[in-house]
């Protein structure tokens, strides 16, 4: 099962509404994945600063302990640290030694990544998704079929700066692929096959591939059935495997591009009645970037 949603805005006038629109899309997908949910949203950022999204308990004093140049915003069980980019190594080292109980879920100039167990609507509400603004976002509702219902196993997965992935499907060669990627410096924190897919894209991008090229190569290197929605600092991409057994629908207008596992996830979007609605073709990369 599982449900995927994504929204990439072309019209800056819609940016204050991004979180509310994605919250509605995510909630509609509850029947496809009621055990946990998550989302990544791309908001404000600047080149010399970095955001680290950290998950855990007892978060209130973390930013202060890191020093006055570190800002922190607590949202329920997650903390977004904003810091000078040159401080990343120090902050990560401090977290590893002083607060090893905390997990970094996402990092980059613009990405914030939140996930928890529970119904998608409840997860969106506890993190205040409806009040968030930005340029694009992706989300996932999970029905755990290959691993336990845990926050760590929820999507999205982020293995590179400003990069994240949500996945509906199953990969049969993720163990062998993990063994190839780990010596290349790609680290994994769960047994979820979707995290391996994210790590594979991180590795390909690091090797110099474009996002489209990395996704195209996954058609050969990843064995299984899958629908991927990927977010990067500038872009948004969709790929289905050559068989395309998982449901998917997209809509495009002059204001946005939207993805949903089912059309009902899209019906609340503005102008949907005049959108170009289509089913993404198997083994074809669809990608959009901000300019």
**Catalytic residue ranges:** 2
Q: Of 232, 284, 278, whose CA–CA distance to 259 is shortest? A: 278
- HSE (side-chain half, CA atoms, 13 Å) at 59: 19
Taking a C-beta distance cutoff of 8 angstroms, is the pair 124, 23 a contact?
yes
Geometric angle at alpha carbon 33, from 32 and 35, rounded to 5°: 155
The percent of the chain in helix, strand and coil, each rounded to the nearest 5, is 30, 35, 35
Taking a C-beta distance cutoff of 8 angstroms, is the pair 202, 159 a contact?
yes
- For the record, the structure tokens of 96 come out as 């590893």
- For the record, the structure tokens of 243 come out as 């068989």
Taking a C-beta distance cutoff of 8 angstroms, is the pair 36, 156 a contact?
no
Question: How far are the Cα atoms of 107, 139, 225, 237, 288 from residue 193, in angstroms, in the given order?
Answer: 20, 17, 12, 19, 25
């Amino acid at each position: 099962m599982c449900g995927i949603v994504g929204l990439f805005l072309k019209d800056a006038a819609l940016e204050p509404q991004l979180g509310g629109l994605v919250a509605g899309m995510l909630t509609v997908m509850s029947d496809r994945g009621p055990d946990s949910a998550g989302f990544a949203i791309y908001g404000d950022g600047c080149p010399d600063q970095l955001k680290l999204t950290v998950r855990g308990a007892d978060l209130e004093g973390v930013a202060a302990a890191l020093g006055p140049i570190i800002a922190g915003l607590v949202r329920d069980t997650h903390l977004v640290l904003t810091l000078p980019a040159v401080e990343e190594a120090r902050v990560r080292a401090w977290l590893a030694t002083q607060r090893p109980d905390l997990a970094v879920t996402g990092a980059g100039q613009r990405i914030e990544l939140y996930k928890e167990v529970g119904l998608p609507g409840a997860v969106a509400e506890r993190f205040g998704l409806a009040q968030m603004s930005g340029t694009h976002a992706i989300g996932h509702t999970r029905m755990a079929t290959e691993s336990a219902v845990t926050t760590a196993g929820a999507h999205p997965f982020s293995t590179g700066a400003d990069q994240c992935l949500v996945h509906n499907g199953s990969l049969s060669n993720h163990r062998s692929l993990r063994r190839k990627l780990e010596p290349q410096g790609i680290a994994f924190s769960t047994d979820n096959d979707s995290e391996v897919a994210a790590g594979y894209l991180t590795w390909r991008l690091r090797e110099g591939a474009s996002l489209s090229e990395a996704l195209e190569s996954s058609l050969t290197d990843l064995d299984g059935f899958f629908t991927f929605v990927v977010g990067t600092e500038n872009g948004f991409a969709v790929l289905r495997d050559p068989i395309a057994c998982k449901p998917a629908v997209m809509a495009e207008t002059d204001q946005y591009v939207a993805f949903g596992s089912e059309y009902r996830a899209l019906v609340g979007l503005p102008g949907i009645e005049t959108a170009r609605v289509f089913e993404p073709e198997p083994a074809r990369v669809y990608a959009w970037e901000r300019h």
